[in-house]
Structure 1
Amino acid sequence: INRKLNKEIGRANYHLKLRTYPHHVLRENKQATGAGADRVSQGMRLAFGKAVGTAARVRQNQKIFTVFSNPAGIEKIKDALRHGGHKLPSPTHLVIEMKQES
């Protein structure tokens, strides 16, 4: 999203904020398979596992990204967020809020 916005509307014309950071470490306890695996494997003894990735816990309707910009680039911002939403594992939707300057 950041790369697309930087290329499309310029670095100084938007502010992208990531509200949910993936800090939850996913771990996997590898199990030996095949012949003689019962002699090699320790089973669940000391099964802390190795880190295989990270994840973020997200509730329904929780904001993940926020973009602040002027209304001129709204279509390009919507397109970048839509493309970025396809890379996330859960369904996403856009909510557009227009702030009136006083």
Structure 2
Amino acid sequence: MPLRPGRCYRRLKRPYTRTEYIAGAPYVQIPKFELGNTSPKERARFDFVVELVNEEVGQIRMNALEAARQMAYKYLSKYVGDPNFYLKINVYPFHVIRENKMLAMAGADRLQQGMRLAFGVPTNRAARVLRVGTPIMYVEIEGKNLNHAKEALKRAASKLPLPTRIVIKPLRQVTKVSAE
């Protein structure tokens, strides 16, 4: 059965996260949350952090997160190279999405009402973003590749259901000591 559109799950409902009590909860299908140059010693040379932050509160399904991760990683590895960036997904899909499956044929809207407030079957997972300005994913990169990082996150944002914006921050604040 095909996936329902993302607009069906964008709004927040009661959290459903205790997977030890959920029979048949789907596994998280995001293979890696950290990509690129993951060595802390080699990441010390990166100057900037480019963050993709949300502008609304909502949920992001796990397949949307995976699609955004793939878009950003493919662009950065092609144009910048794996040793020259560090990409991290900052949210985790804890929330289990349930679906009350209804008949989907001609005339089913008149014939089947279904149970009122039915509990449903676990079908997917979603990351809940509860504060505006939460970084969904971020890239640590050198200053010369800053435009590539912005483009990669712009492409990743097109896969997400929430409106987002890109924020650039210096990784370290360089303090100059004045000789007085």
Query: What runs of 5+ residues in structure 2 fail to find an aligned partner?
Result: 1-71, 176-180
Tell me the TM-score normalized by structure 2.
0.47
3-state SS, counterpart of residue 12 of structure 1: helix
3-state SS, counterpart of residue 61 of structure 1: coil
Q: Which moved more, 1:22-31 or 1:1-10?
A: 22-31
Matches of residues 1-102 of structure 1 in structure 2 within 5 Å?
1-32=72-103, 33=108, 43=115, 47-58=118-129, 59-98=131-170, 99-100=172-173
Separation (CA, whole Å) in 1 of partners of 2:163 and 2:110: 42
Two-structure CA RMSD over aligned residues (Å): 2.5
Separation (CA, whole Å) in 2 of partners of 1:30 and 1:13: 46
Separation (CA, whole Å) in 1 of partners of 2:110 and 2:150: 54
Could you tell me how far 1:14 is from its partner in structure 2? 0.6
Separation (CA, whole Å) in 1 of partners of 2:149 and 2:111: 56
Could you tell me how far 1:36 is from its partner in structure 2? 7.8
Could you tell me how far 1:90 is from its partner in structure 2? 0.7
The 1:101–1:28 alpha-carbon spacing in structure 2 relative to 1, beyond 3 Å, is same
Could you tell me how far 1:100 is from its partner in structure 2? 4.1
Could you tell me how far 1:34 is from its partner in structure 2? 7.5
**Runs of 4+ off more than 4 Å:** 32-38
* Higher fraction of strand: 2
The 1:48–1:74 alpha-carbon spacing in structure 2 relative to 1, beyond 3 Å, is same
Separation (CA, whole Å) in 1 of partners of 2:109 and 2:158: 38
Separation (CA, whole Å) in 2 of partners of 1:95 and 1:28: 35
Could you tell me how far 1:78 is from its partner in structure 2? 0.2
Query: Larger radius of gyration, structure 1 or 2?
Result: 1
Separation (CA, whole Å) in 1 of partners of 2:159 and 2:82: 22
Q: 1:81 is matched by which residue type in structure 2?
A: L
Residue deviations 1:32-75 (CA, integer Å, cap 9, x gap)? 5489869xx7x36xx54222222111121111111111111100
Q: 2:169 is matched by which residue type in structure 1?
A: E
Identity of aligned residues (%): 36
Could you tell me how far 1:3 is from its partner in structure 2? 1.6
Tell me the TM-score normalized by structure 1.
0.79
